[in-house]
Amino acid sequence: MPSRHRSTLLSLAGGLLLLLCPPALAADAEIAVVGVHVEGLDEEASREAAADLVEAMRGTPGLAPVSPGEVRTRLAGRESLVVETAFLGAGRRALDEGRILYERAEFEDAVNALSSAVGLLGEAMPAATDNRLLIDALLTLGLTHFSVGDTEPAHEAFQQVVVLDPTRRLDAVKYSKPTVDFFETVRAEVEARGTGQIEVTGAPGYTVYVDGRSRGQTPLRIEALPVGSHGVLVLGPAGQRAFEEVQVEAGASTKVSPKLARGLLAETGGSEDERRRQTRQLYEALGTYVETDLVLLAGQTSAGEVGVQLYEPRTGSLSTILSGGEGQPVDQLVAAMSRLPELVNETGGLRTDQVFARSLPLDIGTNTLLLSLLLDPEPMLAQGSVSGSGESTEVARERKGLPWYVWAGVGTVAAGGATTAVLLSTSPGGGGGNGSITVGPLP
């Protein structure tokens, strides 16, 4: 067949496909709603406030709110990844940077990065059940100080390492003899102080972590702990948790009676800049796993500012802050929903003239609904099973973008004795629209 005839046939086939399966129109921007950061709202009140935000957004052209229930479904099985990304991610990045600088002998910059890592990872301990990154950061910080002759800060860092991990040793093959000897001297000093114990009381059956290691369930006595500060994390069966820094004294028993709360991610930052950083880290992590175009930040700051922002995972950008006028905080947040279209472009992302550098300085511990989503995940049920309420756990989620096609048949166009295959694609529901896939479970 002459090439011009073949090209003509292919063009005709392509035109036929476009007629039968026209490109999808731009879909509405999906915006995840995960509750509000307002002091004093319990989980039920936070759930009602989130429902009000969803309802206020529903029907707005270009916007498609994703309810907290659907967010729970999308995050199912990945809640711990969100928490780890939010509260260990920044510390891990600072640790990695510090290690590289240490290996390059850029010691001053390494100290800055590693000191930052120690602070960030220590702050994350209420949300973590593993403190190996913190120990590694302290060890590398001690090594960096010792490399430039700053023995006092090196001594302090090594001492914390030994208190948190009495089994830690330095490999004599990897490290110089003076470094190993100095570390062993610090170890001997810590051991010479003696040990004490921690007794965790309270309701039976709560899991206890001490210094990032599981030690058993309450009531529990942990013996032979080095003198010094130890982190005690207690986890309940329904997302409750408590964290406490406990000072162990030689030969003494320190009692801990934790008051477990529904939700504890990290100690709230003391300054506005720290709260901005924590807020951004949390919503960046949510955006990584929730699979929506945008995530809604909504709440009241400690200074009384009430506002909403959008976070765009694709670009890592935050929008400008919208306020809703006067009234109670939740009423102001609901009122601000009418202005969200000002922030969103025709492709479902943030408008470039509405991007803002800083997040709202929210208290991450006041969004009780979000804490429940992350720390009290519902069991993942088999797809298609029935919950106690009798409702199916299947959820049909619309996928955005180009239509979802399945190859449904093969037609042929004959020309000059040759046969050109034309693959006809259709959507499952007919009409060339978006298809859907079924995921579980229901929130």
The CATH homologous superfamily to which domain 195-262 belongs is Immunoglobulins (2.60.40.10)
Q: What is the CATH number of domain 89-123+125-192?
A: 1.25.40.10
Nearest CA among 360, 396, 322 for reference residue 56: 322
Cα–Cα distances in angstroms (integers) from residue 433 to residues 63, 355, 357, in the given order:
19, 32, 38
Report the alpha-carbon distance of residue 237 to residue 248 in Å, rounded. 27
Alpha-helix residue ranges (DSSP H) falling in 58-198: 68-75, 79-87, 89-103, 107-123, 132-147, 151-164, 177-192
Structure tokens at 431: 């009409």
What contacts 379, CB < 8 A, 6 or more positions away? Answer: none
Quote the pLDDT of residue 8: 52
Q: What is the pLDDT, as a whole number, of residue 432?
A: 37
The residue extents of the domains of the chain are 3-24+401-439, 29-77+268-375, 89-123+125-192, 195-262
H or E element, residue 383: none
Cβ count within 10 A of residue 270? 8
Architecture of domain 29-77+268-375: 3-Layer(aba) Sandwich (3.40)
Q: Report the C-alpha gap between 396 and 70 in whole angstroms.
A: 10
pLDDT tens track for 166-196: 999 999 999 999 999 999 999 999 999 999 9
Residue 210 has what pLDDT?
95
Q: How many CB atoms are closer than 10 A to CB 53?
A: 26
What is the rounded distance in angstroms from the CA atom of residue 427 to the CA atom of residue 23? 12
- All residue ranges of the chain with pLDDT < 70 are 1-26, 238-239, 261-264, 378-443
- pLDDT score for 261: 66
253-256 vs 220-226, strand pairing mode: unpaired
Strand, coil or helix: what is 60? coil
pLDDT at 325 (0 to 100):
79
Predicted pLDDT at 6: 53
Environment class of residue 330 by beta-carbon count within 10 Å: exposed (0-12), middle (13-18) or buried (19+)?
A: buried
pLDDT score, position 434: 34
CA 383, chain centre distance (Å): 25
**Cα–Cα dist 144/204, whole Å:** 44
